[in-house]
Amino acid sequence: MTRSRDFAKGATRSEFDYTATAGQTTFTGNDNDSESLAYTAGQIDVYLNGSHLNVTDDYVATNGTSVVLQSGAQAGDSLVIVAYGSFNVANVVATRDLEGNEFILDDDGDTSITADTDDQIDIKIANTDHLILKGSSGDVVFQTATDAKDIKFNQYDGRTVLDINDTGYVGIANGATGSGELRIYEDTDNGTNYTGFKVGTQSGDIDYTLPTADGSNGQFLKTNGSGVLSFGTVSTTGAFTAFEYTATAAQTSFSGNDDNSNSLAYTSGVNNVFVTVNGVMLDGSDYTATNGTAVVLSAAAAANDMIKVLATNASSIATADADGAEFVLDADGDTSLTADTDDQIDIKIGGADDFRFTANTFTALSGSSIVVPAGGLTIGSTAVASTAAELNIVDGGTSATSTTVADADRVVLNDNGTMVQVAMTDIKTYIGGGTSWQAVKTSNFTAAAGQGVFCDTSSAAFTLTLPASPSIGDEVAFKDYAKTFDTNNLTIARNSSKIEGATNDLTVDVEGAGNTLVFTDSTQGWLLRNK
C-alpha cells in the first residue's frame, strides 16, 4: 500500500496500520511499520477490516495520539487510520523542492508533472512522457519527450490547425475545413492589415526549393518545372520596346524622348520597327526607319495624333530563344505563340491552343477548323476548282468495288451547281423500279413512299394506310398475297389525300388484285397506275 507521511514535504495524507489483539480498544504509538500515530482532531478516517467507522458511534479520537474503539476488536483485525494535514498549496508546493517526485494530476496517477532534473519540467499524460519544458540561454524551449513525435495545436473538435512535424516542416490547417493560409500582419501602429499566402485547390503536393543566394537587382524568381527556384534575368534580345509620341500639327519626324521620357533607339533593319497611328498599323511604305534613332512618316500627322513605335534592339527577333515561353500578343494574355518543344510552334487564341506548326505540317487542334476561301486551295502546283459549297475531288482508281449498294447509301450529285447527298431510295423512285417491298403484312399497316406491300387477308380483312403529306411522284404498291381479297377485302385508307379524285377510301375486293398508286397533286391525289 502506498503511504505518504512526510508532512515536511507537504504531504496531505498519512496512513497508520495496526493489527488488533483480542478485545483491544485503544490504538496508539507505533503501528505495524513503526510509525507513531499523530493526527489533528477531526481530520481522520478510521477503517476496521476495510469498513469505514463512524466517529462518536464507533470510536473516539480527540487527543491527537490515540484512537479508542467503542467495542473491542477481535484478534487479527486490521485497523487503518488515515490522517489529513492542513496546508496551503501556494505556501507548500511553491516553496518546496519535489526532488524529482511526480506531482500527480489525476485519480489513476498516470498524468503528472515532474522536475526530473534541475531547470527542466516533464509532462506525463496517460503514463507516457510527452513534453519537456526547459530554458536555454534565456529562451523557453518546448521539446517532445520521445523521438519521431510532432507538436500539434488542435481546435476544440480535434482538427489540427498547426502541426510542428518531426520531419522538419510546419503544417498550417492540416485538418481544417478550409485551405491553409499564412498571414503576416503589419505594425499595429499603422493598422490591422496583413499579407497572406494561401493554398489553392491542388491535384498533388508542391514543394519549392529556394535559391541558395540572393539574385541581382532586376532579376525575377523562376522555377525549373520541378519546384527548384532560381533567379533569372529578363532577356531583352528580340524584345520590343514601345515609344509613344503625341504629334503636333503636320509633324512627320519622331525621335528623341517620347511622352514617357524614353529616348527612341532601334536596330535598323527589316521587321525591327513597327509604327501605329491612333492604333492603326502602318504599312512599311508609309514610314522610313533606317538610322536607328528616328521614324519619318510619309504623310504628316495631325495635331494630337498618337504615334506608337514598336522597336527592337536585335538584328532580328528570330535570334532570341524563347525556351518554351509564351510570346503574348494581346492585353489579357490569352492569345500567344509558344515553342513548347523544339521544332514545334503552338498558336493560342482566346485561351485555347488552336493550331500547331511542325516540320512541313500545319494542324488544326481539337475543336478548331481550317477555312479555305473559294478558289484558295492548291494541291501541289494544281489549283483545285471549287465553289463555296463544294470541292470536287475524283478518285483516280480503276478497280470496281464489291460493296453491296443499300437503300441507306448515298451518292453525291451536282444539283444545279451545288453538291448534295442523295439517298438510293430517292434515286430508285426517280428512275422507276425502285419499290422497296416489305415482308408480308396480316394486319393494319401504314406504308411509306416507295414501299410495296404483300397483303395476306386470309385470316381477316385489314387496312393499308397511305403516307401522310405525300409529294408528287410518291408511289405505294400492293398485292393480294393469299388471293383472298374477294372474301376478306383490303381497305386502302387515303389519309386525308384523295384517291382518283374522290374523298373516299378504296376497297379492293378482287381476288389476286395488285396495283401501284402514284401521287399527283391535291386535286386528283393518288392515281392507280394500272386500271
Q: Tell the burial category of 197 from Cβ atoms under 10 Å away from its Cβ (0-12, 13-18, 19+).
A: exposed
pLDDT of amino acid 204: 86
**C-beta neighbour count of 497 within 10 angstroms:** 21
For residue 378, the tally of other CB atoms under 10 A from its CB is 10
Grid cell digits, residue 250: 503636320
Residue 97 has what pLDDT? Answer: 53
**pLDDT, tens digit, 9 for 90 and up, residues 35-69:** 999 998 888 999 999 999 998 899 999 999 999 99
The model's pLDDT over 282-327, given as tens digits with 9 standing for 90+, comes to: 888 899 988 889 999 999 999 999 999 888 755 444 444 555 666 6
Q: Which domains does the chain have, with CATH numbers?
A: 7-90 (2.60.40), 97-149 (no CATH), 240-320 (no CATH), 435-528 (2.60.120.640)
Distance CA 254, CA 297 (A): 8
The per-residue pLDDT for 124 is 80
Give the pLDDT score at 340.
Answer: 62
pLDDT at residue number 92: 45
Reported as a pLDDT band with limits 50, 70 and 90, residue 217 is: confident
Amino acid 65: pLDDT: 94
pTM value? 0.32
Q: Which residues contact 192 (CB under 8 A, 6 or more apart)?
A: 185, 186
Tell how strand 273-277 and strand 280-281 pair up: antiparallel
398 contact partners, CB below 8 Å, separation of at least 6? none
Look up residue 199 and give its three cell numbers.
493554398
* Chain mean pLDDT for the chain: 81
Contact 122, 105 (CB under 8 A): no
More confident residue, 218 or 155: 155
The confidence band for 385, taking pLDDT boundaries of 50, 70 and 90, is low
- Burial bucket for residue 466 (CB in 10 Å: 0-12, 13-18, 19+): buried
